[in-house]
A and B are shown apart, each in its own frame.
With several copies, the nearest count.
Chain A
């Protein structure tokens, strides 16, 4: 178990920076997805938020605890994104940070618990269930895959890769769904046939997590 990657504060910074870069790079695509069934701002919203997260993280000295970094990033998202995704992602990261408490580093099972805390926060605030065509449809399968792989003894790298893959598939699986939450729900049946933007950005963010832990491991 000595080669098992451990998550540290620096991993969190790398992850959020990576996630921001990926969201930025795919911003137009996310906005396009949102234009089809929402109001066409999801890429802009998430980019604005991660720009602010970058700045907030840059202001942090060494030795800040990973949980603290997540809380800071969450607060930053709440304060800068607006829309639906701001409070949802913001609350998610804050709750994950609080779940980690004061640890300096943590392992796979702890990471899985933090992810579950994040999902809890999203569901508490947004009340979306799987199948409602939201970010939850990417995050819940990811959590399930992460737990399953870890339980089966896979490495954290492998487990996160599986989680990212599950998130991607979860996002793609939103295409045939009829939205029941968020703006897309106004469309009724016309929401069918389009991929949910929030599920898509969630998959991007989880892919960045898998890559970041792999790199810094």
Chain B
């Protein structure tokens, strides 16, 4: 069965250069009721786009974080996703094509994770869209407390809050809110959410064919990003209880929510962490958040913003208010997130 084209790494791939495109085609084949894949423009678009009179949400970023973003296209969440190559920002052409494809006349919101590449490419796209007469609002996601937000960094990265923001802003847009309100809500989610990630292993991008970094036996990387960027520091592997403690402390101390605040707890797997471990970790985190005086009233546990098959997890805590909670609860129907529909 071995052939000349046999890939060196062990992954379900044909030509590694085609991985993203073939995967998106598979996504569209599985979910043609929800979305379509425009292979020329390299974008994933809601099946019924453009929805006249509805604010449209466009997100995008490197691939390798599935289900983010293609898996969140559908009713009540994204109108379009622009997937770049693995761990590489998409290009402005994709964002412009997506913006044009979903513009229903009520304005388009670009959801941009704060990475230099994403920010610059979305900026060029927004300029192009403005040239074509489409109102674009950009919302920056930068919730990763592992990065210091100072003059000496590119600012905090956008990580887990992206999922929550896309759900909540998507619900607002679906309910008919105008572009200012959708934008404001999205920014509120970002302002009230904090995240911190931990990697137990590296991961192998198809085009590279070898692991992004080495993580020696018995060590973990704390403050990891979602692109396989090394984290802030390495430590000896410790128990789930202790790792949960590091995550909770980092997030809670930065969020500074008032005592008794109601929160949404998002425990996210990086791709290679079994659900058995993820729920075990959730149990630890839930307890420690309560000990820290917060009240988890909603949660999301699963692998929603990943780094290929990396073993690891991130914690995102979002401070809720009634409006955010009810938008979170609103129906959503996408390949990866679905309820009430």
A, B bound: yes
Q: Is the interface of B mostly helix, strand, loop or mixed?
A: loop
Q: Are B213 and A82 in contact (CB under 8 A)?
A: no
Q: Are B91 and A80 in contact (CB under 8 A)?
A: yes
Beta-carbon contacts under 8 Å, A25-78 to B: 31, 35, 37-41, 44-45, 48, 78
Q: Mark A179-191 against chain B: 1 for CB-CB distance below 8 A, else 0.
A: 0111101111010
Which of the listed residues B117, B147, B208, B212 has the most CB atoms from chain A within 10 Å of its own CB? B117
Q: Mark A1-45 against chain B: 1 for CB-CB distance below 8 A, else 0.
A: 000000000000000000000000000000100010111110011
Q: How far is the CB of A68 from chain B (nearest CB, A)?
A: 19
Q: Which residues of the other chain, A, contact B121 by a CB distance below 8 angstroms?
A: 82-83, 86-87
Known: A82-B117, A82-B121, A181-B116. A186 touches B225 (CB 8 A): yes
Q: Are A86 and B212 in contact (CB under 8 A)?
A: no
Q: Which residues of the other chain, B, contact A48 by a CB distance below 8 angstroms?
A: 85
Identify B154's interface contact among A35, A78, A182, A190, CB under 8 A. A182
Report if A214 contacts B (CB, 8 A): no
Q: Are A41 and B85 in contact (CB under 8 A)?
A: yes
Q: Which residues of the other chain, B, contact A37 by a CB distance below 8 angstroms?
A: 230
Q: Which residues of the other chain, A, contact B154 by a CB distance below 8 angstroms?
A: 180-183, 185-186
Report if B187 contacts A (CB, 8 A): no
Q: How far is the CB of A92 from chain B (nearest CB, A)?
A: 12
Q: Which residues of the other chain, A, contact B92 by a CB distance below 8 angstroms?
A: 78-79, 87
Q: Mark A181-206 against chain B: 1 for CB-CB distance below 8 A, else 0.
A: 11101111010000000000000000
Identify B120's interface contact among A87, A185, A187, A190, CB under 8 A. A87
Q: Which residues of the other chain, B, contact A180 by a CB distance below 8 angstroms?
A: 151-154
Q: Mark B159-188 against chain A: 1 for CB-CB distance below 8 A, else 0.
A: 000000000000000000000000000000
Q: Which residues of the other chain, B, contact A148 by a CB distance below 8 angstroms?
A: none
Q: Mark A101-122 against chain B: 1 for CB-CB distance below 8 A, else 0.
A: 0000000000000000000000
Q: Which residues of the other chain, A, contact B228 by a CB distance below 8 angstroms?
A: 39-40
Report if B87 contacts A (CB, 8 A): yes
Q: Mark B83-110 against chain A: 1 for CB-CB distance below 8 A, else 0.
A: 0111111111100000000000000000
Beta-carbon contacts under 8 Å, B281-308 to A: none
Bound state CA distance, A134 and B153, in angstroms?
12
Q: Which residues of the other chain, B, contact A38 by a CB distance below 8 angstroms?
A: 229
Q: Mark B55-77 against chain A: 1 for CB-CB distance below 8 A, else 0.
A: 00000001000000000000000
Known: A41-B205, A181-B154, A188-B232. A84 touches B212 (CB 8 A): no
Q: Mark A136-155 against chain B: 1 for CB-CB distance below 8 A, else 0.
A: 00000000000000000000
Bound state CA distance, A45 and B303, in angstroms?
27
Q: Are A183 and B227 in contact (CB under 8 A)?
A: yes
Report if A161 contacts B (CB, 8 A): no
Report if A178 contacts B (CB, 8 A): yes
Q: Which residues of the other chain, B, contact A80 by a CB distance below 8 angstroms?
A: 91
Report if B148 contacts A (CB, 8 A): yes
Return 18 A-B CB contacts under 8 Å, by A number: A35-B208, A39-B212, A39-B227, A40-B205, A41-B87, A41-B88, A79-B92, A83-B89, A83-B117, A87-B117, A87-B120, A87-B123, A181-B116, A183-B225, A185-B152, A186-B225, A186-B232, A188-B152
Considering the complex of A and B, which 6 residue pairs feature the smallest CB-CB distances, nearest first? Answer: A87-B120, A185-B153, A83-B117, A84-B117, A39-B227, A84-B116
- Where the two chains meet, the residues of A that have a C-beta atom closer than 8 Å to any C-beta of B are 31, 35, 37-41, 44-45, 48, 78-88, 91, 125-126, 178, 180-183, 185-188, 190
Task: Using A82-B121, A190-B230 as known contacts, list a sample of 14 further A-B pairs with CB atoms less than 8 Å apart, ordered by residue number in A.
Answer: A35-B208, A39-B227, A41-B208, A45-B88, A81-B91, A82-B88, A82-B89, A84-B115, A88-B120, A185-B153, A185-B154, A186-B146, A186-B229, A188-B153
